[in-house]
Amino acid sequence: MPGANVLTDRIESHLAAEARRRSGAMTEDLREFVGMPTFSGYPEGLDAFRDVLRRRLEALGARVELVPGAPRPDWLWGGAAGGPPPPTLVARGPAPRCEAGLGERKRLLLSGHLDTVHPPQSPFRSLVISGSRATGPGCVDMKGGLVIALHALSLLKDAGEEIAWSMILNSDEETGSYHSEAALREQARAHDAGLVFEPALPNGGLVVERMGSGQFVLECAGRAAHVGRDFASGISAVTTMALAIVKVSEMSDPAAGRIVNIGPVEGGTGTNVVPDRARAWGNVRFSSPAQADALGAMLDALSTPENSIPGVKVRRSFNRPAKPRTPAVEAMASAARAVSEALGRELPFGVTGGVCDGNILQDAGLATLDTLGARGGGLHTPEEWVDLDSLPERAALVAVLMRRLAGGPE
Ligand SMILES: [Zn+2]
């Protein structure tokens, strides 16, 4: 369509220009956010950061609610976290006035996570700027994305644009979103399009398709015995586990969309005792519900009858379903590309085996774009970095995209 990839009116041009003017303010926000440690297992830091965002969202006119977190399965690697599960913040933007002619406005759900993988005692703890590049814990995953989301909302508010939006912020994305999954699903059902602020692909691109992910554990039972005096009466749980692991290793078929990884493992209490207990944790990735079912069935088939020795018990939780490239996602991605090109930057599309909360939102029925955050790299490492220029660029992209997506029936 000729002229599709240009800014279409005065308000879009204003949003783009105003985003550029706010570049310094966005960097300062990022400095503040990155300076607050929010490791997944550090509730004090998460609570403090959640308060900061609550105030920012209330200043945008939102009503904020904290939804209590649900417990996570205690068999997961790392066990159940100590203390109460963290709450999930749900902010509801001011309702647009129902004027005649507004038509059916689409309700947009912005989604992000507060937690990072960087422990608070790490020496990697603040934003260090060098030209247009900065390093810092969580700078791109995803505090840069949170800055982008807040400024996009602020740009729209200051331009007088009335858009129906909510924002959901959890504190356990890096550990699987078990505490927040129910809240994510509830909000997904109440909205028409989802925008997640995970980092862009290294080339600045948008992920349009993701594999799903699941966790499992093999709990193996044997019979303990003294190695020297009574070896023959022992049954090794570690050997049982090893045999099961060999079978698991044969389940992977990346070309077919199935990946299985095992580790960590544990078993035994000493070298002179036949071990009666062993466990192996693992992670599966799958390209479709059919591959998830196939993997689930293969894992379940390793189970032995209750209380048998040797015995294998399989526990699993495939809580992040695959996120396919649906027609609705395709339409949103094309809309994002049109805006990006109008702002002067190409927007390539990509596919990844990585998962995020977009997997959960889309599984609950919400068409979702999930890499609208900052450009950068070194995710989950002490070299994590962000391209500071991407903050105003992406804030403009998101503000214009939100306005177009919300615009009512086509
Ligand atoms: Zn992330």
Cα 216 to ligand 1 centre (Å): 22
Instruction: Give the sign of the dihedral formed by CA 198, CA 261, CA 295, CA 77.
Output: negative
Peptide linkage before 2 cis (omega within 30 of 0):
no
Rounded distance from Cα 343 to ligand 1 centre (Å): 25
Angle among Cα 401, 403, 408 to the nearest 5 degrees reads: 115
Ligand 1 midpoint to CA 92 (Å) = 22
CA distance 324 to 314: 27
CA 306 to ligand 1 center in whole angstroms: 39
Contact 400, 155 (CB under 8 A): no
Considering the segment(s) 212-320 as one domain, its CATH architecture is 2-Layer Sandwich (3.30)
User: CATH 3.30.70.360 spans which residues of the chain?
Assistant: 212-320
Distance 38 CA to ligand 1 centre (A): 12
Q: What would the two tokens of residue 226 be?
A: 């003294």
Asked if 279 and 314 touch (Cβ cutoff 8 Å), the reply is no
Angle at 195 between CA 192 and CA 199, to 5 degrees: 165
Separation of CA 342 and ligand 1 centre (Å): 27
Distance 390 CA to ligand 1 centre (A): 16
Task: Read off the tokens for 119.
Answer: 């422990």
What confidence score (pLDDT) does residue 103 get?
59
Does domain 10-211+323-406 fall under CATH 3.40.630.10? My reply is yes
For 165-216, the three-class secondary structure string (H helix, E strand, C coil) is: EEEEEECCHHHCCCCCHHHHHHHHHCCCEEEEECCCCCCCCEEEEECEEEEE
Spacing, Cα 32 to ligand 1 middle (Å)? 18
Give the residue carrying structure tokens 């956010």: 33
- Residue 309, classed as helix, strand or coil, is coil
Domain with CATH 3.40.630.10 in the chain: 10-211+323-406
Using the mean position of ligand 1's atoms as its centre, give its distance from the Cα of residue 106 in Å.
Answer: 26
- At 353 the pLDDT is 85
Candidates 400, 405, 390; CA nearest to 147 is 390
* H-only helix segments in 262-372: 289-300, 327-342, 357-363
Pairing state between β 206-210 and 277-286: unpaired
Residue 6 is predicted with a pLDDT of 86
What is the whole-number distance in angstroms between the Cα of residue 409 and the centre of ligand 1?
A: 32
* 37 CA from centroid of ligand 1 (Å): 15
Distance 101 CA to ligand 1 centre (A): 38
Q: What is the pLDDT of residue 322?
A: 96
Give CA–CA dist 383/49, Å, rounded: 22
CA 6–ligand 1 middle distance (angstroms): 31
Q: What is the DSSP letter of 141?
A: I
Burial of 79 (0-12, 13-18, 19+ CB in 10 A): exposed
Per-residue pLDDT of the chain (410 residues; tens, 9 = 90+): 444 588 889 999 999 999 999 999 999 999 999 999 999 889 999 999 999 999 999 999 999 999 999 999 999 997 766 788 999 999 999 988 765 445 578 999 999 999 999 999 999 999 999 999 999 999 999 999 999 999 999 999 999 999 999 999 999 999 999 999 999 999 999 999 999 999 999 889 999 999 999 999 999 999 999 999 999 999 999 999 999 999 999 999 999 999 999 999 999 999 999 999 999 999 999 999 999 999 999 999 999 999 999 999 999 999 999 999 999 999 999 999 999 999 999 999 998 888 999 999 999 999 999 999 999 999 999 999 999 999 999 999 999 999 999 985 44
3-class SS at 157?
Answer: helix
Residues in the chain: 410
Among candidate residues 196, 109, 193, the one with its CA nearest the CA of residue 145: 196
Q: What's the 356 CA to ligand 1 centre distance in angstroms?
A: 7
* 388: Cβ contacts below 8 Å, ≥ 6 apart: 23, 26, 27, 30, 129, 132, 133, 134
Tell how far the Cα of 113 is from the centroid of ligand 1, in angstroms.
7
CA of 137 to the centre of ligand 1 (A): 12
Cα 30 to averaged position of ligand 1 atoms, centre (Å): 15
Ligand 1 centroid to Cα of residue 379, in Å, is 8
Instruction: State which H helix or E strand residue 271 sits in.
Output: none
Closest residue by Cα to residue 370 from 253, 172, 200 = 200
CA distances from 234 to 165, 248, 270 (A): 62, 25, 14
Compute the distance from residue 142 Cα to the ligand 1 centre, in Å.
5
Q: 141 C-alpha vs ligand 1 centroid, how far in Å?
A: 4
Could you tell me the distance, in angstroms and rounded to a whole number, from the CA of residue 200 to the centre of ligand 1? 10
